[in-house]
């Protein structure tokens, strides 16, 4: 059951903050946004918290705070909570913010300076040394736990420029900000990735293919405690720097769903700008197929033709995906009519062959030729170079439901 708790209309940015039992971090996020002093909305998506989150928010008596709460008994996750919750936002601009983030002074000014329709603006993350370093972020330790954090020390550090004033790079990651109508134009998150994990990679790829411009501003900073609502959530069995089993299971499931949808792993350049390879119509024809090979190979195909017991596989795997696996798995005797055919003998298939298969879209894109060739133990026939990645831009199912609701 979902409860809607309304407050009055505000202007500027709506900071959209998913939270599940993260009250100690959420308090820091709230205070840092209020410190910006420009009357922004704070929309908290409370996903069945049991730590007093909603009670604390209500007791604030703050008209700028909106609450969208899942009363349980099951978790919904970011995918469902975000897209439904933003219906409450009364600003034109939304910012995907995390409960374990702290806004730096003048974050809003830096974001709004570069924001235009058709543009997604990302703030620069400052993180403690829990995740690998990267050129898109700054490693600086202002605390690993909420009680370690000192806002005044953080604010003073932010006053010293980290790059030349006005520096921007191209990339996208949380916290990202855009016009709400641009988010809704492509149908928002894909529920294939519920409750969360890889939903952002899918969303960013669709932003990219839809022609949105990416800007990372180095004048707008956030401190990110890192993954306290997902990987390291102690209420889901994780701890600082240790992934929860819930996250491990969900991430594995949604990595496979991402590959089914896009034909590749999520890709990006060094500054986190999406790299989207062609989505070809690939049919895998696998003889002498073992059950573990079927599990490994199925996501990498549009259709797989096999002599393995695929009905048993479908029974076990179907609960993990919204994609209909009976439309993907076929008997070896079935007619093969894919644009690209890859023939595999399970008896000779090895790790190097799998690496070729994982990179097949890039290999075919670079080749750009119709014909037949061998790659390791793979026999590959390219009958058509038609690709379908642009058909994945719009989450049509969600937009169709929304349009029907509006007509009704």
DSSP category for residue 112? H
Question: Is residue 370 classed as helix, strand or coil in its secondary structure?
Answer: coil
C-beta separation of 78 from 196 below 8 A: yes
Q: Taking the domains of the chain in order of start, what are their residue ranges?
A: 2-262, 282-387
DSSP summary character for residue 335? P
Of 27, 30, 34, 29, nearest to 12 (Cα)?
34
> pLDDT tens, position by position, for the chain (408 residues)?
445 444 433 348 999 999 999 999 999 999 999 999 988 999 999 999 999 999 999 999 999 999 999 999 998 999 999 999 999 999 999 999 999 999 999 999 999 999 999 999 999 999 999 888 999 999 999 999 999 999 999 999 999 988 887 788 999 999 999 999 999 999 999 999 999 899 999 999 999 999 999 999 999 999 999 876 655 566 555 555 567 788 888 999 999 999 999 999 989 999 999 999 999 999 999 999 999 999 999 999 999 999 999 999 999 999 999 999 999 999 999 999 999 999 999 999 999 999 999 999 999 999 899 999 999 999 999 999 999 999 999 985 555 545 444 434
**Tokens matching residue 178:** 């855009």
DSSP class of residue 87? G
Angle, helices 199-209/245-262, rounded to nearest 10 degrees: 30
pLDDT of residue 8: 37
Q: What is the pLDDT of residue 164?
A: 80
Q: Kindly report the number of other CB atoms within 10 A of residue 318's CB atom.
A: 13
Strand order in the sheet with 303-306: 329-331, 303-306, 282-287, 340-345, 378-382, 371-375
Q: What's residue 168's pLDDT?
A: 87
Fold annotation for 2-262: Spore Coat Polysaccharide Biosynthesis Protein SpsA; Chain A (3.90.550)
Structure-token match 């390219």, residue found: 382
């Amino acid at each position: 059951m979902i409860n809607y708790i309304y407050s009055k209309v505000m202007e500027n940015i709506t900071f959209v903050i998913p939270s599940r039992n993260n009250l100690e971090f959420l308090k820091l996020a709230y205070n840092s946004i209020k410190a910006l002093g420009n009357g922004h909305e704070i929309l908290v998506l409370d996903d069945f918290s049991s730590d007093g989150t909603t009670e604390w928010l209500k007791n604030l008596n703050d008209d700028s705070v909106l609450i969208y709460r899942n009363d349980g008994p099951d978790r919904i996750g970011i995918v469902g909570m975000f897209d439904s919750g933003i219906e409450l936002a009364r600003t034109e601009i939304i910012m995907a913010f995390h409960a374990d983030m702290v806004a730096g002074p003048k974050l809003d000014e830096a974001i709004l300076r570069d924001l235009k329709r058709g543009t997604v603006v990302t703030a620069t993350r400052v993180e403690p040394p829990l995740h690998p370093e990267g050129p898109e972020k700054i490693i600086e330790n202002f605390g690993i736990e909420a009680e370690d954090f000192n806002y005044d020390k953080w604010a003073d550090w932010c006053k010293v420029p980290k790059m030349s004033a006005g520096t921007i790079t191209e990339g996208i990651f949380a916290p990202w900000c855009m016009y709400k109508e641009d988010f809704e134009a492509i149908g928002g998150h894909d529920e294939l990735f519920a409750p969360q994990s890889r939903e952002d990679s899918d969303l960013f790829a669709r932003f990219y293919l839809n022609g949105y411009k990416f800007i990372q501003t180095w004048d707008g900073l956030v401190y990110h405690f890192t993954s306290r609502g997902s990987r390291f959530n102690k209420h889901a069995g994780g701890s600082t720097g240790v992934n929860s089993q819930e996250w491990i299971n969900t991430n594995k499931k949604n990595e496979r769903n991402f590959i089914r949808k896009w034909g590749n792993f999520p890709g990006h350049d060094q500054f986190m700008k999406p790299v989207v390879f062609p989505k070809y119509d690939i049919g895998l024809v696998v003889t002498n197929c073992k059950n573990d090979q079927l599990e490994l190979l199925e996501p990498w195909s549009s259709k797989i033709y096999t002599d393995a017991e695929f009905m048993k596989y479908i029974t076990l795997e179907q609960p993990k995906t919204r994609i209909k696996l009976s439309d993907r798995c076929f008997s070896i005797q079935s007619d093969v009519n894919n644009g690209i055919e890859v023939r595999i003998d399970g008896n000779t298939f090895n790790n190097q062959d799998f690496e070729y298969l994982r990179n097949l879209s890039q290999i075919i894109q670079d080749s750009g030729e119709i014909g037949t060739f061998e790659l390791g133990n793979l026999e590959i026939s390219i009958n058509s170079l038609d690709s379908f990645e642009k058909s994945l831009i719009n989450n049509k199912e969600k937009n169709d439901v929304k349009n029907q609701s509006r007509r009704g």
